[in-house]
Structure 1
Amino acid sequence: LWWGHRIPVWYVNGDEKEFIVAHSEEEAYEIARDKFGAGVTLRQDPDVLDTWFSSALWPFSTLGWPEQTDDLARFFPTDVMETGYDILFFWVARMVMTSLLFTNDIPFHTIYLHGLVRDEHGQKMSKTKGNVTDPLKVMGEYGTDALRFTLLTGGTPGHDLNLSLERVASNRNFANKIWNAARFITRSLEKATAEDKPDQLEFTAADQWILTNLSTVTRDANRLFNNYQFGEAGRQVYDFLWGDFADWYVELAKVQLSEGGSRAWTTLFVLRHVLDDCLRLLHPYIPFVTEETWQQLKQAFVESEIGIQPVEGWADALIVADWPECGEWQTCYDFSAAAADFEQLRELVTRIRAARSEQGVEPAKWITAMIAAGDKGTFYQSQHAILSFLARLDPERLTIAANLEAPTQALTLALGDLTCYLPLAGMVDLDKEKERLQKESGALEKEIQRLTNLLNSPFAQKAPTAVVQKERDKLAQLQASHAELSERLNTL
């Protein structure tokens, strides 16, 4: 077994000072007999050329060269060469040189350099250090797709990747998120039938918001792919699917599905379309989970006979399905106004949730809310059920109007021209909350005083600058927390 190309040199009669260079042993003997006579003996040099010589021939030698084969005509030169920056000279430059020498052409027009995979502390992996990560073990524990997605999205071109198993575990959870979203959709198919299909699609504000964001992420992902920013493209699709789709649209879809009829049918239409496009965008990163999920989605929709399918029909497999293009919805509809309104609603829900958490309100508790929505009053009234569901607001105690008089003892949340009031009565025990906040405020005041005295002492001149700055930053943070507590106490 010879590892590499044998050196094409044959020594004459065992004398290393006399040698023949030829393409083959037969040619070497022909040359040797002409020069030394019929009884000559030859011995080929036992060494081989190094791996970089063999690898330098790879772009064309694997395609049948020097014969003019169909494969050589089709695949040489190729488009993109992807490799690590550490072998740019050893391999890439030599491929260019040998290709120019033997074919008079460059082997590729674009070189994409990825970084090296290091351990989570940025150290180069080595057996000596004992910090080598076995990919087979990682794949066995977290899944192949989770590792693939981590490697593909964990860095930027030319920069090293610090591989953390926590990140791999997080991406395994992402794969589970995809699977669970698909399972929710397929289990919701019973909410509508083919008879519920409307003559013309009427999208809710939530539908228009998610479709607008899908168009945006599709456009951005395509642009990033074309610029070889594969990691950033994957991260943007990740954020959209996990955040906008799974955490928001799937949740509020439960309200729309409960209405049944054409509303449920349209919601299923949007759910399938968005997840389908996301699976296509993610397929290069996580091929196994996306293919299996897509096949399950396809089978469920076909068997349901609900009349929902891709515009081009169902392909045989995800890997051969059409790549998503942006602008489909924006070409047919103008969703900008409704999408902007719903984005404000989402921000309002986020603020209400944060306020509930700050006040220690139990997650399952329904609370009172009053919303002065200004010229958006009609819109927010149409979103009464969704707002109530997402923010855990008691439907019977949720008041929405253009203008409202501010109640006493209520938290005030302002978003542009909109104001939301959360009456504290019934939401928290006011006396206990005051006592808790006063106790917390007192503890902060003591710590603020201690740090103030420390920074006014000789410590500030004698200690290292970095240490002093750290204490100053801590003081600023405590003062900000104390100001926030004081504001909450004033509200009470």
Structure 2
Amino acid sequence: MTMDKSFNAGAAEARISAEWESAGAFAAGANASRTESFTVMIPPPNVTGSLHIGHAFNNTLQDILVRWHRMRGFDTLWQPGQDHAGIATQMVVERQMAERQEPNRRAIGRDAFVEKIWAWKQESGGTIMNQLKRLGASCDWSRNAFTMSGAPAAPAGEEGNFHDAVIRVFVDLYNKGIIYRGKRLVNWDPHFETAISDLEVENREVPGHMWHFKYPLAGGETYEYVERDEDGNVTLRETRDYISIATTRPETMLGDGAVAVHPDDARYAPIVGKLCEIPVGPKEHRRQIPIITDEYPDPDFGSGAVKITGAHDFNDYGVATRNGIPLYSLMDTAGAMRADGLSYAESAAVATRAAGGEDVGDVSAVNLVPEELRGLDRFEARKRVVEAITAEELAVTDAEGAPFVENKKIMQPFGDRSNVVIEPMLTDQWFVDTKRIVQPAIDAVRDGRTQILPEQHKKVYFHWLENIEPWTISRQLWWGHQIPVWYDGDGNQYCASTEAEAQAQAPGRTLTRDPDVLDTWFSSGLWPIGTLGWPEDTEELQKYFPTDVLVTGFDIIFFWVARMMMMQLEIVKEVPFHTVYVHGLVRDEKGAKMSKSKGNVIDPLTLIDEYGADALRMTLTSMAAMGRDPKLGPRHVEGFRNFVTKIWNASRFAEMNQVRGGGTRRTPRHTVNRWIIGETARIRMATDDALSTYRFNDAANGLYAFVWGKVCDWYVEFSKPLFDGEFAEETRETMGWVLDQCYLMLHPIMPFVTEELWSLTGNRSGLLALGNWPEYGAELIDADADREINWVISLIEEIRSARAQMGVPAGARLDLIVTQADRPSRDALTANAPLIGRLARVNPPQDGAAGKGMISVAAQGASFALPIGDVIDAEAETSRLQKSLTKAEKDADGLRKRLDNPKFVQNAEPEVIEETRGKLTALDDDTARLRTALAQLEAMR
């Protein structure tokens, strides 16, 4: 079959993907020839998701490892699957129902709504899996898993036992007392009316206000307020009857339980332990709260005094729990001010007793929202509170007597899907007592059973685990694994795998199931064992667990990686994976984080459509330096599409010269052929070394340099005269073998074009995806051939560089004067003179001395002169080079001054500093080269 002029990625990729799948090339155990297994668990994308550049990067790296191990004969499994994505999926289906003007979920009920989600999943939930196939991901698609498989309402085709695993773990941990129900502060999304994880909270800088208010001291008491400078000198002394606080959320003042100051803050020492009055609410029931000390307030920030609203702020929650301050909830689940509970007068009376030190017990019915504010949206209530305090002249005023309000940027938490402001809320939730299961996960990384790469990410892992808080695992949604707990009429709990088992625990009682579902991180925490059939002791579990490598992003080290470690170690007493490779974040080509608001998001599918999957994969891999964020732009991918074209053209050249692959490798006689075989052995060893140590970029860049430079440029050129004469057949054999090795070694990174070339360039019996990885090594390196040909290449490059630097016309043929050469150099020169003459555009070498009008070039053990005086305008070239040198020196001086500026080094992004240093190094190299060239021109005169 004659090769086309170019590789049509768009046409070939779909066809090749179908061939792989129909051949079962990616099935677990395919191509296995050794007993060792190699298992990778895909970080399950959301079922609602579509492929973004982060997915493309993550899955390309996984695929490289998987294909490499499969070709090496490991019993390989790359387990694919999706997460059911509670909030995201519920949002998608509710939005679809609204667009179709269907009744909402509450109108149709839970069971009907869950049926709609399953129907949506079967119709549209496979999008990202199909997109991963376009990328070339070699997962065992027949084993595609889903974190809701086997759930009671799952339709046909969604069989599995993942649901059984999740429920069993919940029941087990509940019975051990590790899972419990309690009231704690959580991130609350008022739109979805559910608790959410920190990962689903997006902190954004937005315009805001800081209001300053006076909290009058009880009974009109006064004190001497004194401020001092750093030397202890008094800068302000006045009598005050209030303590001032600053807040960005005045509506939460209604739930204040105390005002806190730092214990070392001398300004407030006279009033610590006294009561102050919250300046809002009906005057006849105005509440008083204590002034306490705590390490949390910063004396140097604002007034140094902070109000403590423990039920609506995470920092305040810590202060309140440490100091026994009651927690008063102000809002309902939709973010409106509460309209339930006791009247304001009754609530204020309870809070007053609590402020006096009385134990008032459960305060959940206490509603400290005045009647006129009940039911209002929280932001409308804020406006009313500010107006009321200002009207009472209890706002701190500026020099002109106006209320002191700072307009400033504030960090505000938003739900990443709802786009509404998140409210810290005190709610009843289910928790995992993580302190009881955390230590084995810490120990496993400390003792090396699991290694985290790069090492820097261990700090994140340990910091989170060593300061771990209870894990909120319940969500107020309908889509997910429903909590397996039932309640009787007295509120007693019955935890069981099924309702029948729960009923058996409570004979004769009517039971109601907890409506909440489990956080998706709980179920995905079981991903390694749940996808392999646990709790059944399956053959897959025995063979593929523990898994080998988890490839993931840094942003979910503590949300997912650490939780998998805790869960597997608690449940099956084994680490889930031996290595965690943490890759960077793909940024735009300027180093900025990609975001829709910036308009710099890159769609990987668009890049695949334009340049092909191989070019995108090679680009991402070449940038995957450990511990660094890749900076990606379309021009980078275009460059690697040229690489695809380069190897395609080299293969066409081979075909035109009757070269075929699939043959055996014999030891050739010609030096060039012995040299390229040795170079192939070098890159094979370097590639294995790079991949075994997760230096993906070194593997990609090494192969790029070898294939483009050594094979497609030098060897192709060197081989041309060899196709006529006594070395023709061995050259065809050698070139066929070398190209085969290129396809094999590039295949894990560039699977499509290499599979296509494999099928077109030889009589093959099978797919390249199931080919055998080469195992030869240093024994193929011929030291003499290596030395000779690399010397020839070095000389040709030196001559080409000198010609380009001096402006020698491309067509001009120069004499090559040998001014000095040792024996190895002279032998190499003699043996390869025609080759050097053709590629360097020089005449046959002749001995002589350097003279006027000549420039010098050198190779190891030899020096040469090139007469160029008659083919260039020396004065014009001198002028051109001098202008280039002046500009390079000026640019380098500017960059050097920038790097010497402490403010630049302190404030600039690390990527910018690194880029600036790189530019300076390049300019310094340019100036050195230009000075050398000018010196050469001067010496010619």
TM-score of the pair, normalised by structure 1: 0.80
User: Partner of 2:582: helix, strand, or coil?
Assistant: strand
Q: Distance in 2 between matches of 1:477 and 1:391?
A: 23
Shift of 1:488: 0.6
- For residue 713 of structure 2, the aligned residue among 247, 261, 265 is 247
Q: Distance in 2 between matches of 1:265 and 1:205?
A: 14
Q: Counterpart of 1:434?
A: 874
Q: Distance in 2 between matches of 1:256 and 1:4?
A: 68
- For residue 398 of structure 1, the aligned residue among 815, 822, 844 is 844
Q: Determine if contact 1:315/1:321 at 8 Å carries over to the other structure.
A: no
Cα deviation digits, residues 367-411 of structure 1 (max 9, x gap) = 322335431323322212211121122xxx4134xx534454322
Q: Distance in 2 between matches of 1:268 and 1:342?
A: 19
User: Partner of 1:251: helix, strand, or coil?
Assistant: helix
Q: Determine if contact 2:525/2:560 at 8 Å carries over to the other structure.
A: yes
Seen in structure 2, the aligned counterparts of structure 1 residues 226 and 26 have a Cα distance that, compared at 3 Å, is same
Cα deviation digits, residues 161-190 of structure 1 (max 9, x gap) = 222222111111111111111111111107
Q: Distance in 1 between matches of 2:645 and 2:609?
A: 16
Q: Counterpart of 2:854?
A: 410
Aligned residue type for 1:326: Y
Question: Which has more radius of gyration?
Answer: 2
Alignment of 1:230-309 (within 5 A): 230-257=696-723, 259-260=724-725, 262-298=726-762, 302=763
Shift of 1:366: 2.8
Q: Percent identity?
A: 36
Give the structure, 1 or 2, with the largest relative contact order (CA under 8 Å, sep 6 or more).
Answer: 2
Alignment of 1:80-229 (within 5 A): 80-189=549-658, 201-229=667-695
Q: Counterpart of 1:316?
A: 766
User: Partner of 1:354: helix, strand, or coil?
Assistant: helix
Aligned residue type for 1:121: K
Q: Distance in 2 between matches of 1:476 and 1:413?
A: 18
Aligned residue type for 2:779: T
Between Structure 1 and Structure 2, how many residues are aligned?
A: 439
Aligned residue type for 1:489: E
User: Partner of 1:411: helix, strand, or coil?
Assistant: strand
Q: Determine if contact 1:370/1:422 at 8 Å carries over to the other structure.
A: yes
User: Partner of 1:367: helix, strand, or coil?
Assistant: coil
User: Partner of 2:876: helix, strand, or coil?
Assistant: helix
User: Partner of 2:557: helix, strand, or coil?
Assistant: helix
Q: Counterpart of 1:343?
A: 790
Q: Distance in 2 between matches of 1:341 and 1:398?
A: 18
Q: Determine if contact 1:12/1:19 at 8 Å carries over to the other structure.
A: yes
Q: Distance in 2 between matches of 1:367 and 1:148?
A: 43
Q: Determine if contact 2:834/2:844 at 8 Å carries over to the other structure.
A: no
Seen in structure 2, the aligned counterparts of structure 1 residues 101 and 203 have a Cα distance that, compared at 3 Å, is same
Q: Distance in 1 between matches of 2:702 and 2:837?
A: 29
Q: Determine if contact 1:121/1:162 at 8 Å carries over to the other structure.
A: yes
Shift of 1:343: 0.9
Seen in structure 2, the aligned counterparts of structure 1 residues 170 and 263 have a Cα distance that, compared at 3 Å, is same
RMSD (CA atoms): 3.4
Q: Which runs of 5+ in 1 are unaligned?
A: 303-313
Cα deviation digits, residues 239-270 of structure 1 (max 9, x gap) = 1111111121112211222x23x411111222
Q: Counterpart of 2:497?
A: 23
User: Partner of 1:368: helix, strand, or coil?
Assistant: coil
Cα deviation digits, residues 312-337 of structure 1 (max 9, x gap) = xx45111111111232xx536x6112
TM-score of the pair, normalised by structure 2: 0.43
Q: Which runs of 5+ in 2 are unaligned?
A: 1-113, 115-477, 905-916
Q: Counterpart of 1:384?
A: 833
Aligned residue type for 2:743: L
Seen in structure 2, the aligned counterparts of structure 1 residues 84 and 340 have a Cα distance that, compared at 3 Å, is same
User: Partner of 1:398: helix, strand, or coil?
Assistant: coil
Cα deviation digits, residues 280-322 of structure 1 (max 9, x gap) = 1111111111111111112xxx4xxxxxxxxxxx451111111
Q: Distance in 2 between matches of 1:324 and 1:268?
A: 20
Aligned residue type for 1:157: M
Aligned residue type for 2:772: D
Aligned residue type for 2:701: R
Seen in structure 2, the aligned counterparts of structure 1 residues 11 and 122 have a Cα distance that, compared at 3 Å, is farther
Q: Counterpart of 1:9?
A: 485
Shift of 1:489: 3.4
Q: Determine if contact 1:437/1:489 at 8 Å carries over to the other structure.
A: no
Seen in structure 2, the aligned counterparts of structure 1 residues 57 and 204 have a Cα distance that, compared at 3 Å, is same
Seen in structure 2, the aligned counterparts of structure 1 residues 134 and 110 have a Cα distance that, compared at 3 Å, is same
Q: Determine if contact 1:146/1:168 at 8 Å carries over to the other structure.
A: yes
Shift of 1:349: 0.5
Q: Determine if contact 2:855/2:866 at 8 Å carries over to the other structure.
A: yes
Q: Distance in 2 between matches of 1:153 and 1:324?
A: 22
Cα deviation digits, residues 193-217 of structure 1 (max 9, x gap) = x9xx99x854322222222221111
Q: Distance in 1 between matches of 2:931 and 2:694?
A: 47
